[in-house]
Amino acid sequence: MSYFKNLIALLAAERSADEAAFISLTAGTGAVQRRTLGLCWYPIAIRNTEPVRGDYISVEVERTTHKDLAHQLRFGSSVALFSNYDNNDRVNGTITFIGGDRLKVTLLTEELPDWASNGKLGIDILFDAYSYDEMRNALKKAEQTDSHLIKVLTGSKKPTFVSTDYTTPNLNKSQQTAVKNILGAQDLAIVHGPPGTGKTTTLVAAINALIAHGEPQILIVAPSNTAVDLLSEKLSETGLNILRIGNPVRVTERLQKLTLDSRMAEHGQMKEVKKLKKMAAEFKNMAHKYKRSFGKAEREQRKALFNEAHRIMRDVAKIEEFVAEDVISKAQVITATLVGADHYTIKDLTFKTVIMDEAGQALEPAAWIPVLKAQRVILAGDHLQLPPTVKLQQSGLTTTLLEKCVALHPEAVTLLEEQYRMNTQIMGFSSLKFYNNKLTAHPLVANRLLNPEDKPFTFIDTAGAGYEEQAEGTSTANPEEAAFVVRHIVAMNYSNVSVAVIAPYKEQVSLLKTLLLGAAVEVNTVDGFQGQERDVIYISLTRSNSEGTIGFLSDYRRMNVAMTRARFKLVLVGDSATLAQTPFYAELIAYAESLGGYESVWEY
């Protein structure tokens, strides 16, 4: 199918761009520099080692300094253990656990290299070829598979539904319709969940209903670990047997208990495994004593000891495989990331139903990994919020499977219409521009204010005040606008409410962070606030120039996300002379005026 050929080509281009960016970032850098970039833990100490399946070794390490530095090491990342004495001293592996300042990595070697005992060790992140390979394999497989589901998802067949009964007092009308559609879907159902409309609540109810209707096991996936964690936790609270494949990011005790490792550790057979692993390690240690002696007898003795260790580890692998299969077969719901859906423990499983949450942020080639395991797929998300992050913005990979299916099969879509987060005025503009004016605010939130005189939606105009934007590298900042936002927050004297500032540009964010140092105000980009909410949100629009250039403020989906984070109060600060040259922002400013929420900086 040319559909998949096209995706394979787009993915190859994306991979090249990603790899080139990674190389340019890391080429010629030292360990200290890579540490600052978040690509490396250095220095580290080895805390523990044990043999694992496939004659490899698992090493537990701890970073011993610079623990406050943010980093990009994640569960499943390809990494290298290295020695800073010699660039050639490196051995590759995969992170199998990460929590706090410790991580476990399975190294593709049978024993620790000699140089590992000389200190000055670190862990480097490598380019993530694994995810790209998995995505490409899925597309290749989809191209050769002629299933009914693939025909529906690519648009050559229509989705079908059978009617089902479902009512519960715990859900509103549109949420109940969504669950009904999920239960009746033969191949595809879509839950379109705008901000604050209770998409997670709806999915949890639907999953419980599917299991009550006799489904033995359901696979639930999402593009990010955070989204998988949230659903795993919510489902586990309803009493279902949930199995989390992969390593949770939110390291709560409850989530740790849901992981395969934790479930296997509780299994009766694992005592035997512990005993055998210890024996194998002892045989290997004995073999090491012959490392420096090279007589024929010693070599043979060493080989015999290693062979014995291997034999024991093959027994261990068999027992672990049995235990894993036992644990997996008993789970009612398996949760994983998109790429995690192909984890070796569940690689060969298929499911009647696969549910993909946050499908609006799922890169399409990654979405096909779990889809190929399904008879029917439920896509949940909002294609009018942030798209997936890609290196090649114009490539076509920003269009998700969700977005395509919404356009192809509107009859499969249920829009969740009632939101539980925002005052009606905050909701109004997004509802009008993105959701055909169909959103309503639940009575509990519709008219709530910080105080009786407060305005929930304001646009403060900086036009004519001489607040000029400044180019900072590839980003943009506006120092006077930032200073004004801070003065306004101080003057409002908020107490007992959560306040955050969103700015579309990284430079403006770091400027605001500096100015608000020590204040209980969170500052971040739009992406940093996806899925979150606060009582009061300020948006510093930053752009101010005579040409009316607004850069990526013209990505209106980003604006939709930014404007729908606030519960009680939203304050936009920007230059109408620059912004209003674009119809979207002209309408936004007019909307503020219609509510009596337009103010000028000159009033302050």
Res. 552: pLDDT tops 90: no
Q: Which two structure tokens, joined as six digits, stand for 371? A: 């889809």
Q: What is the percentage of the chain residues whose pLDDT exceeds 90?
A: 80
Nearest-angstrom CA–CA distance, 232 and 55: 32
For residue 216, is the peptide bond before it cis, meaning its omega torsion is within 30 degrees of 0? no
Res. 300: pLDDT tops 90: no
pLDDT class of 1 with cuts at 50, 70, 90: low
Q: Read out DSSP for 546-559?
A: TT---GGGG-HHHH
Res. 214: pLDDT tops 90: yes
589: enclosing H helix or E strand: helix 583-594
- pLDDT of 530: 84
Q: How many CA atoms lie within 13 A of 383 on its CB side?
A: 18
pLDDT class of 294 with cuts at 50, 70, 90: low
Measured CA angle at 212 (ends 207, 217), to 5 deg: 60
Lowest-pLDDT choice from 70-74, 160-164, 452-456, 506-510: 70-74
Residue type (1 letter), 16: S
pLDDT class of 384 with cuts at 50, 70, 90: very high
Q: Which two structure tokens, joined as six digits, stand for 501? A: 């500032």
pLDDT digits (tens, 9 = 90+) for 141-161: 999 998 999 999 999 999 999
pLDDT class of 299 with cuts at 50, 70, 90: confident
Q: Read out DSSP for 118-157?
A: GS-EEEEE---HHHHHHHHHHHHHHHH---HHHHHHHTSS
Task: Name the 3-class secondary structure at 165.
Answer: coil
Whether 95 contacts 104, CB under 8 Å: yes
Res. 5: pLDDT tops 70: yes
Lowest-pLDDT choice from 46-50, 435-439, 446-450: 46-50
Neighbours of 593 (CB within 10 A): 11
Nearest-angstrom CA–CA distance, 264 and 249: 20
pLDDT class of 598 with cuts at 50, 70, 90: very high
The average pLDDT across 215-242 equals: 96
Res. 292: pLDDT tops 70: no
Rounded alpha-carbon distances, angstroms, from residue 550 to 340, 387, 470, 480: 38, 19, 13, 18
Q: 156 vs 118, which has greater pLDDT? A: 156
190: enclosing H helix or E strand: strand 188-192
- pLDDT of 204: 98
Most confident among 84-93, 163-172, 200-209, 243-252 (mean pLDDT): 200-209
- pLDDT of 500: 98
- pLDDT of 291: 63
Positive or negative, the CA dihedral 104, 108, 112, 113 is: negative
pLDDT class of 288 with cuts at 50, 70, 90: confident
Res. 221: pLDDT tops 90: yes
Res. 470: pLDDT tops 90: yes
Whole-structure pTM value: 0.93
Res. 378: pLDDT tops 70: yes
The average pLDDT across 117-144 equals: 94
Res. 391: pLDDT tops 80: yes
Give which of 50, 48, 73, 77 is closest to 60, Cα–Cα.
48
Res. 590: pLDDT tops 90: yes
User: What is the residue-averaged pLDDT of the chain?
Assistant: 94
Residue type (1 letter), 379: L
pLDDT class of 483 with cuts at 50, 70, 90: very high
Rounded alpha-carbon distances, angstroms, from residue 194 to 200, 284, 336, 387, 566: 11, 57, 23, 14, 14
Rounded alpha-carbon distances, angstroms, from residue 288 to 41, 121, 274, 295, 299: 28, 21, 21, 14, 11
Q: 540 vs 88, which has greater pLDDT? A: 540
Whether 132 contacts 82, CB under 8 Å: no
Q: Which two structure tokens, joined as six digits, stand for 90? A: 């490196």
Give which of 336, 342, 329, 327 is closest to 355, Cα–Cα.
336
- pLDDT of 28: 86
The average pLDDT across 159-182 equals: 95
Nearest-angstrom CA–CA distance, 6 and 101: 42
The average pLDDT across 496-513 equals: 96
Res. 289: pLDDT tops 80: no
Task: Name the 3-class secondary structure at 216.
Answer: coil
Res. 357: pLDDT tops 90: yes
Whether 516 contacts 551, CB under 8 Å: no
Q: How far is CA 405 from the centre of its chain?
A: 22
